[in-house]
A and B are shown apart, each in its own frame.
Chain A
Amino acid sequence: MTEESFDFDAIIVGGGIAGTVAAYLLAKEGLEVVLIERGNYPGSKNMTGGRIYSHSLERIIPNFASDAPVERKITREKVFMMTEDSSVGLDFYSGRLGKQGRNSYSVLRSLFDQWLGEKAESAGANIITGICVDSLIVKDGRVCGVVAGEDEILARVVILADGVNSLLAQKIGLRTEFKPRHMGVGVKELIELPRSVIEDRFQCEGNEGTACMFAGSPSDGRVGGGFLYTNQESISLGVVSTMNDLVKGQKSLPQMMEDFKNHPAVAPLIKGGKLIEYSGHMVPEGGFDMMPEIIGNGVLVVGDGAGFCINLGYAIRGMDFAVASAECAAKSVIAASKSGDFSEASLQSYKKYMEECFVLRDMKQYRKFPHFLEDTPRMFSVYPNMAIDIMSDMFVMDGQPAKPLMKKMITHVKKIGFWNLAKDGWKGMKSI
Chain B
Amino acid sequence: MSAAEKEKVNVDSKLSTNKYFVDEKNAHIILKSEGLDMAEFHKLELACPAGLYKMDANGGIKFDYAGCLECGTCRILCGTTILKKWEFPRGTFGVEYRFG
Q: Residues 29-62 of chain B: 1 if any A CB is under 8 Å from the residue's CB, otherwise 0?
A: 0000000000000110111111100000000000
Q: Are A251 and B46 in contact (CB under 8 A)?
A: yes
| Minimal beta-carbon separation of A264 from chain B (angstroms) | 7
Chain B residues with Cβ under 8 A from A258's Cβ?
6-9
Q: For the complex, is A173 an interface residue (Cβ under 8 Å from B)?
A: no
Q: Please, which residue of chain B has its CB at the minimum distance from the CB of A263? A: B1
Q: Please, which residue of chain B has its CB at the minimum distance from the CB of A178? A: B76
**Pick the contact of A277 from B87, B89, B92, B98 — CB < 8 Å?**
B98
Q: For the complex, is A109 an interface residue (Cβ under 8 Å from B)?
A: yes
Q: Are A186 and B49 in contact (CB under 8 A)?
A: yes
Q: For the complex, is A183 an interface residue (Cβ under 8 Å from B)?
A: yes
Q: Are B77 and A279 in contact (CB under 8 A)?
A: no
Chain A residues with Cβ under 8 A from B97's Cβ?
43-47, 109-110, 277, 279
**Pick the contact of B51 from A108, A164, A246, A252 — CB < 8 Å?**
A252
Chain A residues with Cβ under 8 A from B9's Cβ?
252, 254-255, 257-258
Most buried by B among A183, A259, A275, A280: A280
Q: Are B69 and A280 in contact (CB under 8 A)?
A: yes
Q: Are A243 and B98 in contact (CB under 8 A)?
A: no
**Pick the contact of B15 from A131, A255, A278 — CB < 8 Å?**
A278
Most buried by A among B1, B6, B71, B92: B71
Chain B residues with Cβ under 8 A from A264's Cβ?
1
Q: Please, which residue of chain A has its CB at the minimum distance from the CB of B72? A: A165
Given A177-B79, A275-B14, A247 and B46 touching (CB < 8 A)? Answer: yes
Q: How far is the CA of A288 from the CA of B76 in the complex (A)?
A: 19
Q: Please, which residue of chain A has its CB at the minimum distance from the CB of B77? A: A180
Q: For the complex, is A189 an interface residue (Cβ under 8 Å from B)?
A: yes
Secondary structure dominating the interface of B: loop
Q: Are A109 and B48 in contact (CB under 8 A)?
A: no
Q: Residues 63-81 of chain B: 1 if any A CB is under 8 Å from the residue's CB, otherwise 0?
A: 0000001111101110100
Q: How far is the CA of A247 from the CA of B76 in the complex (A)?
A: 12
Q: For the complex, is A136 an interface residue (Cβ under 8 Å from B)?
A: no
Chain B residues with Cβ under 8 A from A148's Cβ?
91
Q: For the complex, is B90 an interface residue (Cβ under 8 Å from A)?
A: yes
Most buried by A among B96, B98, B99: B99
| Minimal beta-carbon separation of A191 from chain B (angstroms) | 10
Q: Please, which residue of chain A has its CB at the minimum distance from the CB of B8? A: A255
Q: Residues 162-190 of chain A: 1 if any B CB is under 8 Å from the residue's CB, otherwise 0?
A: 00110100000000011110010111011
Chain A residues with Cβ under 8 A from B88's Cβ?
38, 132, 165, 167
Q: Are B96 and A132 in contact (CB under 8 A)?
A: no
Q: For the complex, is A429 an interface residue (Cβ under 8 Å from B)?
A: no
Chain B residues with Cβ under 8 A from A253's Cβ?
46-49
Q: Are B100 and A113 in contact (CB under 8 A)?
A: yes
Most buried by A among B72, B95, B98: B72
Q: How far is the CA of A180 from the CA of B96 in the complex (A)?
A: 26
Q: Please, which residue of chain A has its CB at the minimum distance from the CB of B45? A: A252
| Minimal beta-carbon separation of B47 from chain A (angstroms) | 5
Q: For the complex, is A396 an interface residue (Cβ under 8 Å from B)?
A: no
| Minimal beta-carbon separation of A322 from chain B (angstroms) | 14
Q: Are B73 and A185 in contact (CB under 8 A)?
A: yes
Chain A residues with Cβ under 8 A from B73's Cβ?
183, 185, 243, 280, 282
Q: Please, which residue of chain B has its CB at the minimum distance from the CB of A184? A: B73
Q: How far is the CA of A108 from the CA of B97 in the complex (A)?
A: 10
Q: Are A177 and B76 in contact (CB under 8 A)?
A: yes
Chain A residues with Cβ under 8 A from B69's Cβ?
278-281
Q: Are B17 and A277 in contact (CB under 8 A)?
A: yes
Q: Are A185 and B11 in contact (CB under 8 A)?
A: no
Q: Please, which residue of chain A has its CB at the minimum distance from the CB of B10? A: A258
**Pick the contact of A279 from B8, B51, B100 — CB < 8 Å?**
B100
| Minimal beta-carbon separation of A235 from chain B (angstroms) | 12
Chain A residues with Cβ under 8 A from B72's Cβ?
164-165, 282
Q: For the complex, is A101 an interface residue (Cβ under 8 Å from B)?
A: no
Contact sample, A vs B, 26 pairs, CB 8 Å cutoff: A38-B92, A43-B97, A45-B70, A84-B3, A110-B97, A110-B98, A165-B72, A167-B88, A183-B73, A185-B73, A186-B49, A243-B47, A243-B73, A247-B46, A247-B47, A254-B11, A255-B9, A259-B6, A278-B14, A278-B15, A278-B50, A279-B18, A279-B69, A279-B95, A280-B71, A282-B73
Given A46-B100, A167-B88, A262-B1, 4 other A-B residues pairs in contact with their CB atoms under 8 A: A39-B94, A110-B98, A177-B79, A179-B76
**Which residues of A does B touch, CB under 8 Å?**
38-40, 43-48, 84-85, 108-113, 129-132, 148-149, 164-165, 167, 177-180, 183, 185-187, 189-190, 234, 241, 243, 246-247, 249, 251-255, 257-259, 262, 264, 275-282
**Which residues of B does A touch, CB under 8 Å?**
1, 3, 6-9, 11, 14-15, 17-18, 42-43, 45-51, 69-73, 75-77, 79, 87-92, 94-100
| A-B pairs with lowest CB-CB distance, top 8 | A280-B49, A109-B100, A110-B100, A258-B9, A280-B69, A187-B49, A130-B92, A247-B43
